[in-house]
Structures are given as structure tokens and as C-alpha cells.
């Protein structure tokens, strides 16, 4: 199996370190520019923002608070639903936004240096597939499920025996993962979670 996660993790780390030095001039610290760009593009609710950037809500709340205190974003009532407050860039934030985009375009060009257009498109396609896999895995864990680390070992060990009550938890994990991998794309997260809770509840597995 190819080892890619360490290299993938190394790339944004070096990119972020470079950006940190330069973004100090516009009063942005580590990671805050990611939030500012998303807010400038989509005017999202804080909860949606956390989902887009793939971080927990606590981290998102801290970043939002810092951007607000620096006068780069503000909360305004939604025009259609005044109960909802969305995030918008201030004049200061809007002025910084083009600077961030220029840095992103430059770093992107540096990363793709030496690659043909076809290679760049192929890389983009493959990275999207990797991101999709990792995102699905994160959503699985976020819902309280446990990933199965011993799968590779289990493939090489074949043992056929009658299931005992002590195997119920293991069977539940395998069942949830298999069903999610097969049918997860065809169902909404809510419907999928409801079905999994009912179909693979320990008491139902013991009956079968």
C-alpha cells in the first residue's frame, strides 16, 4: 500500500508556515485566512462554516471570535430569516480578501510547477477522490462510530466459527461499515443513521 498521508500532511504544513510569515502584515494568524476566504465567498452560518472547513465547532468559534475582534468579519441578520445571523466580511476583511487569493494562486502555481495541464488535472481528480474518502471516514467517526483498524490483519486470518454473544459488538461494527460503504451514497445522513441504529442494534443482531 502506498504511503501518501504523511506527504499530504506535509504539504499544507509548509504552505501554512510560509503564509503565516506573510499574513502577519495584514493581521492574520494561522488558519484565520481560511475562514475569511470562506466567509467572503459564501456568507455562511458558523455551523456551516465548520462543516466546510472540516473542523470542530469549538475551533471555528475561536477563529470567528478572533476575526470579529480584529474587525474583519461581522454578524448580520439574514434577510429572509431574522432569527439567523450570518457571517459577512467587513470593509477591512474585504480589502484583505484579494491579497489572500493572490497568495493562494501563487502557491498553487508553485505546487504545480513542472506538471503538464493533463498531469495537473489528473492530480486534482485524484486528490478529490482522496479528500472524499477521508471526509466520509471523518463523518463516520464524528457520529460516534469506531473505525476498524484490524481489517488488514483480519483479512489474513480466516477463522470460521459460530458467533457468540461476545461477538455482537464486533458484528455491529462490521455491519455498519459494510452497509455504509455500499449504500451510504444513496441515503441522506439522517436516514442512514436512523436505519443503522435500528437494523444493527445489539438486541436485533442477537436475535438473528
Domain borders along the chain are 5-111, 143-207
Cα→Cα distances 109→31, 40, 43, 120, 174, Å: 20, 22, 27, 10, 43
Q: The whole model's pTM is what? A: 0.54
| Mean pLDDT (whole number) for 133-162 | 70
The class (CATH top level) of 5-111 is mainly alpha
- Using one digit for the tens of pLDDT, what is the confidence trace for 25-66? 777 776 788 888 888 887 667 777 777 777 778 888 888 898
Buried-state track 90-102, b at ≥16 Cβ within 10 A, e below 16: eeebeebbeebee
More confident residue, 158 or 98: 98
Share of the chain above pLDDT 90, in %: 10
- In the predicted structure, residue 160 carries a pLDDT above the cut 70: no
Amino acid at each position: 500500500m502506498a504511503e501518501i498521508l504523511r506527504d499530504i500532511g506535509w504539504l499544507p504544513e509548509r504552505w501554512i508556515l510560509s503564509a503565516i510569515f506573510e499574513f502577519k502584515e495584514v493581521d492574520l494568524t494561522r488558519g484565520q485566512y481560511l475562514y475569511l476566504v470562506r466567509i467572503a465567498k459564501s456568507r455562511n452560518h458558523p455551523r456551516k462554516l465548520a462543516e466546510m472547513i472540516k473542523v470542530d465547532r469549538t475551533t471555528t468559534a475561536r477563529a470567528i471570535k478572533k476575526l470579529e475582534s480584529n474587525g474583519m468579519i461581522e454578524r448580520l441578520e439574514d434577510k429572509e430569516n431574522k432569527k439567523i445571523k450570518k457571517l459577512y466580511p467587513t470593509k477591512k476583511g474585504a480589502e484583505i480578501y484579494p491579497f489572500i487569493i493572490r497568495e493562494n494562486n501563487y502557491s498553487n502555481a508553485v505546487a504545480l510547477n513542472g506538471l503538464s495541464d493533463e498531469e495537473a488535472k489528473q492530480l486534482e481528480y485524484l486528490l478529490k477522490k482522496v479528500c472524499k474518502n477521508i471526509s466520509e471516514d471523518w463523518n463516520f467517526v464524528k457520529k460516534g462510530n469506531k473505525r476498524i483498524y484490524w481489517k488488514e490483519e483480519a483479512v489474513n486470518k480466516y477463522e470460521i466459527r459460530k458467533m457468540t454473544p461476545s461477538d455482537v459488538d464486533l458484528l455491529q461494527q462490521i455491519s455498519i461499515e459494510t452497509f455504509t460503504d455500499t449504500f451510504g451514497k444513496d441515503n441522506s445522513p439522517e436516514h442512514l443513521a436512523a436505519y443503522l441504529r435500528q437494523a444493527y442494534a445489539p438486541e436485533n443482531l442477537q436475535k438473528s
